[in-house]
Amino acid sequence: MKCVKCEKKAIINIRYRNLRLCRDHFIEYFEKTVKETIRKFKMFSKKDRILVAVSGGKDSLALWNVLNDLGYRASGLYIDLGIGSYSRVSREKVKKFSKESGLELIIRDIKAEYGKSLEEIKARRKTCSTCGIIKRHEMNVVAHEHDFDVIATGHNLDDESTVLLSNILRWQIDFLSRQHPVLEPWHEKLKKKVKPLCLLTEKETKTYVILKNIDHVEEECPYSVDASTLFMKSVMNSIEERFKGTKYYFYTQFLKNIDIFKNNKKWKEDLKECKLCGFPTNKDYCSFCRILR
Amino acid sequence: MKCVKCEKKAIINIRYRNLRLCRDHFIEYFEKTVKETIRKFKMFSKKDRILVAVSGGKDSLALWNVLNDLGYRASGLYIDLGIGSYSRVSREKVKKFSKESGLELIIRDIKAEYGKSLEEIKARRKTCSTCGIIKRHEMNVVAHEHDFDVIATGHNLDDESTVLLSNILRWQIDFLSRQHPVLEPWHEKLKKKVKPLCLLTEKETKTYVILKNIDHVEEECPYSVDASTLFMKSVMNSIEERFKGTKYYFYTQFLKNIDIFKNNKKWKEDLKECKLCGFPTNKDYCSFCRILR
C-alpha cells in the first residue's frame, strides 16, 4: 500500500476519505485538517491565549501538541480529580509533556481546592456525570481567572458523531442546538469553547500521537466512559463499517443544518448567577456547588 | 407470566410498554392503539372510503383486517408486479382474504396494464427503487380513478423508526419533513396517505395476524427489502435491545418536532404535471413514466 502523495509506504488508510498516506503526509494532512477546522469555524487566531483541557489521553495531548506546532499560544489545564493511580499517572504524563515542550501547565487539584476528591463528591449521581460537571466548572473558573480567550477540548469525530446520535435518538433539542465545534460565551464569566479535532477520527488522533512519540495514558479511567456511550460508539462504528463516511457526513451535515434546532432558547430564559461561585446557572446554586455541598 | 389485565396466561410481553397481555387483551390493545392513532393524527372517519395497499404480507393484511373490524370502509388494492411465484402466491392470499371477509379488492396487474412486468421495467435502477415508484404511482392512479378519500399503508413502528434513522444519518431534510403518519395531498390528483400501524411494532402485527388466523405470505420478496434497510433494521433492533422504548420514543418525539424540518419547500417549487400520465412531478415526465419508457 503506497502513499497517494508520494512513493513511500502508506502507514494509514483513511477509508472515508479514500486516502492512504505515509508518515510525513499523514502529519501534514492532520495539521492541515486542524488548521482548516480552526479557520472554517473561526475558532481563534494566533493572538488568542488558548486554554487546552488536557486529561493525559491521546486526544487532548494530540490537540495541545498540534496547536503548539501550528504556532498557537496554547497553555494546558490538568484537572486532578484524585482518582487513585489513574490520576497520578495521567498527571505525571501531562507534566512531562509540558516540561519537554516548554508549555505552561495549570493544575487544578480538586481535593486541595475543595477538600473533597471526585469519589467523595459523587453522591447520588453517576460518577461520569459528576466528573463532567466538575471539569466544566473548573475549565470556566480557570479560563476566567487567568483571562484566557478560549477553551479548547480534544473531542474527536467519533465523540461528536456518537453524542449526536444519542442526542438525536432522544430528541434532545437543547443539546443539539449547542452541539457545535464552537460554543460562544453566553455570559460574561464564560469563555468561548472550541473543538479543533472534531473533523478527525479517534484512529487518526491515535496515529498522530504514535508518530509524534507523545507519551500518553493508555489505560482508561477506572470509571471508564459510561457503558451507554461505549455502546453507542460501537453502534456508530458498525454503521461506519457498513457505510463508510457516515460519521463524517452525519456530523458535518448536521452542522450545516444546526440552525433548525435553535428556535428553542428555553435554557437561557431563567439565567441567574450561582449564589456561591457566581457562575451562570438556572437555579440558585449551580450544579457544581450543589454536588459539592 | 400472567396478563396484567386479568388472570389468564400472557401470550406476549410488550417490553417497551411494560405490558404482558393475554390473547383477548392483546387484541383489545392492538385495536385500541390503531383507533387512537387514527384519532390522534386525524387520519379518516367512518364516512371515508379507504384504499388499503395490500401486498399479502402480515402488516398490510393486519391493517385491512383491523380497519374492517373497527367499522371503517376499507377496500384493498393489490398491485401485481409479476415477480414470479412470489406474486402469484401473494395475489392468491389477498384474494382469499378479500373473499372470506367480503371486502372489495382492486387488482392492478402491471404487465396487463403497461405490457411490462417489474423485471422488464427495472432498467438501470435498483429493483426496490423501481418497485417503490410503480407502487406509489399505481396507488395514486387507483385512488384517483375510484375516488377514494384516503390511501392507507401498513408501515409499522419498525419501518418508520428505521427509515427515520436512515434519513437522519443522511440529513435528508425533505424526506424528514414528509415522514409523518399523515401525508396531506399537495395536488388535486393526489389523495391523503396514512399509516395507521405506525405506533405498533413488527412483533405486534405479527402476533395480531397469528391470533386472528390471517393467512399471509411468509416468504420475503425474492428481491427482498434492500440489504441496507435490513442492516439499518438490525442496528435499530440492537439499540432497542439495549435501551428499550427507543423506537417508540425516537419516532414519537420526532413527530412532535417535525415542524423544524418544514422550512425547506424546494421540492414543491418546480411542480408540473407529467406530460404522459398527468400526475404531479418536477420534471416533464414523472418517475413512473420515465422508467416505463
Going by pLDDT thresholds of 50, 70 and 90, the confidence category of residue B32 is: very high
- Residues A230-244: b if buried by 16+ CB within 10 A, e if exposed: ebbbebbbebbeebe
At which residue does the C-alpha cell 494530540 appear? Answer: A62
Mean pLDDT of B139-152: 97
Return the pLDDT at A266: 54
**Inter-chain contacts counted by CB atoms under 8 A, chains A and B:** 51
A134 φ/ψ angles, rounded to the nearest 5 degrees: -65, -45
Of all residues in chain B, the percent with pLDDT exceeding 90 is: 75
Q: Is B242 on the interface with A (CB under 8 A)?
A: yes
Answer whether residue B267 shows pLDDT above 70. no
Higher-pLDDT residue of A85, B291: A85
Return the pLDDT at A99: 98
With beta carbons less than 8 A apart as the criterion, state whether B34 and B66 touch: yes
Q: Is A173 on the interface with B (CB under 8 A)?
A: yes
User: pLDDT of A75-111, one tens digit each?
Assistant: 999 999 998 899 999 999 999 999 999 999 999 999 9
Q: Mutating which of A161, A248, A260, A264 best tests the B interface, going by the most B Cβ atoms within 10 A?
A: A260
Return the pLDDT at B269: 63
**Structure ipTM:** 0.89
User: pLDDT of B90-108, one tens digit each?
Assistant: 999 999 999 999 999 999 9
Is domain A41-292 classified as CATH 3.40.50.620? yes
Q: Which three cell numbers stand for residue A245?
A: 463516511
- Domain-by-domain residue ranges, chain B? 43-292
SS percent in chain A: helix, strand, coil, step 5: 50, 15, 35
Answer whether residue B249 shows pLDDT above 90. yes
User: pLDDT of B4-31, one tens digit each?
Assistant: 999 999 999 999 999 999 999 999 999 9
Q: Which residue of B has its CA nearest to A232?
A: B239
Strands lying side by side in the sheet with B73-80: B105-109, B73-80, B49-53, B150-152, B192-194, B182-183
Q: Give the per-residue SS3 of A242-264.
A: HCCCHHHHHHHHHHHHHHHHCCC
Q: For residue B228, which residues of chain A lie inside 8 Å, CB to CB?
A: 242-243
Answer whether residue A278 shows pLDDT above 70. yes
With beta carbons less than 8 A apart as the criterion, state whether B238 and A235 touch: yes
Answer whether residue A225 shows pLDDT above 90. no
The β-bridge relationship of strands A182-183 and A192-194 is antiparallel
Q: For residue B238, which residues of chain A lie inside 8 Å, CB to CB?
A: 235
Which CA distances in Å does A94 have to A76, A134, A135, B273?
Answer: 9, 19, 16, 67
Query: Please, what is the end-to-end C-alpha distance for chain B in angstroms?
Result: 58
Answer whether residue B265 shows pLDDT above 80. no
With beta carbons less than 8 A apart as the criterion, state whether B168 and B260 touch: no
Q: For residue B247, which residues of chain A lie inside 8 Å, CB to CB?
A: none
User: pLDDT of A41-79, one tens digit each?
Assistant: 999 999 999 999 999 999 999 999 999 999 999 999 999
- Nearest-5° angle of CA B18, CA B23, CA B27? 80
- The residue ranges of DSSP E strands in A68-141, in sequence order, are 73-80, 105-109
The count of other CB atoms within 10 Å of the CB of residue A250 is 23
With beta carbons less than 8 A apart as the criterion, state whether A118 and A127 touch: yes
Return the pLDDT at B280: 86
Answer whether residue B143 shows pLDDT above 70. yes
The residues, any chain, with a CB within 8 Å of residue B40's CB and separated by 6 or more, are none
User: Which overall architecture, per CATH, does domain B43-292 show?
Assistant: 3-Layer(aba) Sandwich (3.40)
Q: Distance between CA atoms of A185 and A137, rounded to whole angstroms? A: 14
Going by pLDDT thresholds of 50, 70 and 90, the confidence category of residue A16 is: very high
Q: Mutating which of B171, B246, B254, B255 best tests the A interface, going by the most A Cβ atoms within 10 A?
A: B171
With beta carbons less than 8 A apart as the criterion, state whether B83 and B55 touch: no
Return the pLDDT at B30: 98
